[in-house]
Structure formats: C-alpha cells, structure tokens
C-alpha cells in the first residue's frame, strides 16, 4: 500500500516521540528537561503542538509527582475515561490505586439535591481519603473549583493537582484558581485538555519511575 | 470567586454548545445541518476548532450511522478509553454492545507471534461478528490498515467506519485508505483524533436517536 510504512509494533511509539522532538525543534521550542517527557506525551496523545506553549508546571512539579507516586500515592480522577487510560498495573506496583467516584449513586443523589455537579461532590468525597492523593482532573472545571473551595474553607491540601479539564464554561478561570495556590501542580492553561490528556500526564510520570 | 460564573449543572453543556456555535459563526464556518451535532461534539470534547475543517463525512454518513445504531448495530473500538466514554446504556436501549478486544490475552499472543499490533489482530477478530458493526477507531492507524486489508482480500465490508486515530506514524495515510473505500464513514483527516473523539462521535449519534 502506497504511503504506508511498515514499523515494528514496539517501534511506533519511539518513532512518534522522535518526530515530536524534531518538530518541536523546527518550531524553536526547547522544553525544560524535567517537563519534556510529560509535555511530549501530551502532544503524542493529541497531535496538538499548542500544548508545548500552554502546559504549566509549578517548581519541581515533575519530581514531586514522581516521588508521590513512588511513595504509593493514590490518584483521583473525574472521568471514567481517564480511569481507563491510566496504567493501573504500573501504579499498583508502587502501592497506588486510581479512584473515580463520578458514577457512584450516592454522589449522583447528593449532587442532584444540592444542585451542584457530580464532580463537585466527588472531590469532596475524595478529600476524605487518608493518604497522599494526586487529583487528575480531565473533564470538569467544577472539580477544580471544588478543590479550591475546600482549601479556602480548611487547612486541607491535596498532595498534587493535575488540572487539565477541557471546555468552554469556567474552564480557564478554574485553572487560574489552581495556579494561584501553593499546591504543586501541572496545569494546561486555556480551554484545552481532556481525560486523554490527564491519563497521558499520569502515564508519563509513571513511565519515568522504576519499580524498586 | 472572581471570573467564576455559576451555571446550573444541567445547563453547562447547553451553554458550551451555544459558545461553539457562536465561535464557528465568527470564523465564518457553516457546517452542513446533518454533520453539525457531530462536529460540534468533537469540538466540545477537544476545545479544538481545527476539527471543523478536517472532519470528513461520506454521503449521508450521519443518517446511515443513526439507522445502524437504531437497528441494533454493535460497536467495535480499538481502545478501552473509547469503550469507557461511549454511552453504553443508551446504546443498549437499541440492542447494541461495545466491544474492545485490545486487552484480550489471545489477541496479545497472536500479535506478538506475527509481529503485528494488537489493533491489527483485534480488527480481524471483530470481522467475525455476525451482525452489523460500526468500527470506531480512536487510536491505532494499524486498525484502519487491517480493515482495509480485510476488504482487499475478501468481499467482507464493515457496516460503517469512524476513523479518528491520532498520531504521527501512518495515521494520515491510513485515514486516506478508508476515504478511498465505498464503506460509509466519518473520518478526521490529518494527525488529530483520539479515543475521546471516537467516543464523542458515537455519543453525538446516539443522542440524536430516540429510543422507540
């Protein structure tokens, strides 16, 4: 077949990352070494080089997140698609679990009664988890707003926030709230993001840590 | 909180689609009415207006896909994220099921032995399903290549192809192969796509059909 190149299955990802590296170079973009594997995997999952300009990291964010995962931190996400995309086997090797409370019946019931989103209630439930938690928000800006409000109301702090919801209503403002906090974070500024992006960020972190 | 607008949970999606409509107008883009709800939902899931230019529909594609779903067609996808994202309850109301064979052990074993991707083998397995099937490919161009090869080798035809893999190796060429076939299709030309886009397309179709 014309234009189809045969590439060994194990080589496809490697080749893709090489192409992403070359095209970043052509665009004159140099990513900080710590951030490079994460931003590149986000571009890999979206084919969208805009992310090279909008991905925002707090100081030493990648190092901090890797240490949390290596220490057995759990992950809470706001979508079942991110839950499906995160490498749970790899996370489990470090003692971590991924939670998504969005489909829980008691979450739905409470959200309906209070006229808030299920994401809001999910985050409140997750704040009760009694171990370090990385929040990976790929869909609902209300999840980020909920985390921000919990921090305003109390001394509670999440261990880490991956803030990459996508959309048109309150998405940009919700991300800016998280950028103002002192919680270590990886946020994609602007409207773009998604559950695929959230999963890609978590997996990029996971793939850089060797199980002991 | 400054810049955060309170929107009732049930209104967020409606408001988002209204914003997408306005911004398409500002860009001078008029989508054909049949395609509009599908392309808009793809933009909704990606916040990326590029899709308005690259989404490609064969004649009456949306009508054909809706009739297939209403008639109980199954869906086969190449990623567990798309499987997670598709509204399975709604699909089930019409008699359809979503399959993803990517994590099956026999698929992995056969792929390894033949030095092809699991997506290739998954599609070959799916071709044996004895009812109309919509193939929703959100990740692997090799899935599209596999479908094309099956069609070259025999009279077998999938009922419909949603071809939206994302990436850098063979992705564009694989989509062009599908565009050449006589199978009804929705394809996003170029490198962009993803499991979120595949799920959005299926859900956009589902939400336009009323269960009888």
- What pLDDT shows up at residue A212? 63
Minimum distance, in Å, between the CA of residue A133 and any CA atom of chain B: 22
B194 vs A193: CB contact, 8 Å cut-off? no
- Decide yes or no: CATH 3.40.50.10230 for domain A54-206: yes
- What pLDDT shows up at residue A3? 83
d(C-alpha A196, C-alpha A102), whole Å: 17
- State the residue for tokens 């397309």: B201
Chain A residue nearest residue B118, CA to CA: A9
Print pLDDT tens along chain A (212 aa): 768 988 888 899 999 999 999 999 999 999 999 999 999 999 999 999 999 999 999 999 999 999 999 999 999 999 999 999 999 999 999 999 999 999 999 999 999 999 999 999 999 999 999 999 999 999 999 999 999 999 999 999 999 999 999 999 999 999 999 999 999 999 999 999 999 999 999 999 999 998 66
For B72, B133, B156, B157, the CA distances from B130, given in Å and listed in that order, are 12, 9, 11, 12
Residues B2-16 as b or e (16 or more Cβ within 10 Å = b)? eebeebebeebeebb
Q: Give B195's contacts in chain A (Cβ within 8 Å).
A: 81, 85, 196
Q: Is this complex's ipTM strictly greater than 0.90? A: yes
- What pLDDT shows up at residue A10? 84
Given a cut of 50, the residues of chain B with pLDDT beneath it are none
- What pLDDT shows up at residue A124? 96
Minimum distance, in Å, between the CA of residue B88 and any CA atom of chain A: 13
Does residue A46 contact residue A205 with C-beta atoms inside 8 Å? no
Q: Give A84's contacts in chain B (Cβ within 8 Å).
A: 80-81, 83-85
Contacts of A36 (CB under 8 A, 6+ apart): none
Where in chain B are the domains?
54-206
Chain B residue nearest residue A44, CA to CA: B167
- What pLDDT shows up at residue A9? 85
Q: Which string of DSSP letters, residue by residue, matches A68-113?
A: HHHTT-EEEES-HHHHHHS-HHHHHHTT--EE--TT-HHHHHHHHH
Among B45, B47, B167, the residue with its CB nearest the CB of A47 is B167
The dihedrals phi and psi of B100, each to the nearest 5 degrees, come to -140, 115
Does residue A190 contact residue A168 with C-beta atoms inside 8 Å? no
User: Active site includes A185?
Assistant: no
Minimum distance, in Å, between the CA of residue A117 and any CA atom of chain B: 5
Q: Give A150's contacts in chain B (Cβ within 8 Å).
A: none
What percentage of chain A has pLDDT greater than the value 70? 99
- What pLDDT shows up at residue B166? 98
d(C-alpha B194, C-alpha B165), whole Å: 5
Residue numbers of B annotated as active site: 44
pLDDT tens per residue, range B82-128: 999 999 999 999 999 999 999 999 999 999 999 999 999 999 999 99
Chain B residue nearest residue A140, CA to CA: B12
């Amino acid at each position: 077949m014309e234009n189809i190149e045969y590439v060994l299955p194990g080589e496809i990802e490697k080749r893709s990352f090489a192409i992403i590296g070359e095209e970043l170079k052509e665009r004159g973009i140099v990513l900080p070494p710590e951030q490079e594997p994460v931003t590149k995997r986000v571009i890999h999952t979206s084919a969208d080089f805009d992310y090279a300009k909008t991905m925002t990291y707090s100081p030493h964010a990648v190092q901090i997140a890797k240490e949390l995962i290596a220490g057995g931190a759990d992950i809470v996400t706001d979508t079942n698609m991110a839950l499906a995309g995160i490498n749970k086997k790899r996370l489990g090797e470090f003692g971590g679990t991924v939670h998504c409370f969005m489909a829980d019946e008691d979450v739905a019931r409470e959200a309906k009664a209070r006229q808030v989103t299920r994401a809001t209630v999910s985050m409140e439930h997750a704040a009760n988890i009694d171990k370090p938690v990385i929040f990976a928000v790929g869909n609902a800006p209300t999840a980020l707003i909920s985390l921000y409000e919990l921090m305003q109301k109390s001394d509670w702090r999440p261990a880490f926030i991956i803030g990459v919801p996508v959309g048109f209503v309150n998405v940009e403002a919700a991300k800016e709230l998280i950028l103002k906090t002192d919680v270590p974070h990886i946020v994609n500024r602007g409207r773009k993001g998604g559950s695929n992006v959230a999963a890609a960020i978590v997996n990029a972190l996971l793939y850089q840590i060797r199980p002991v």
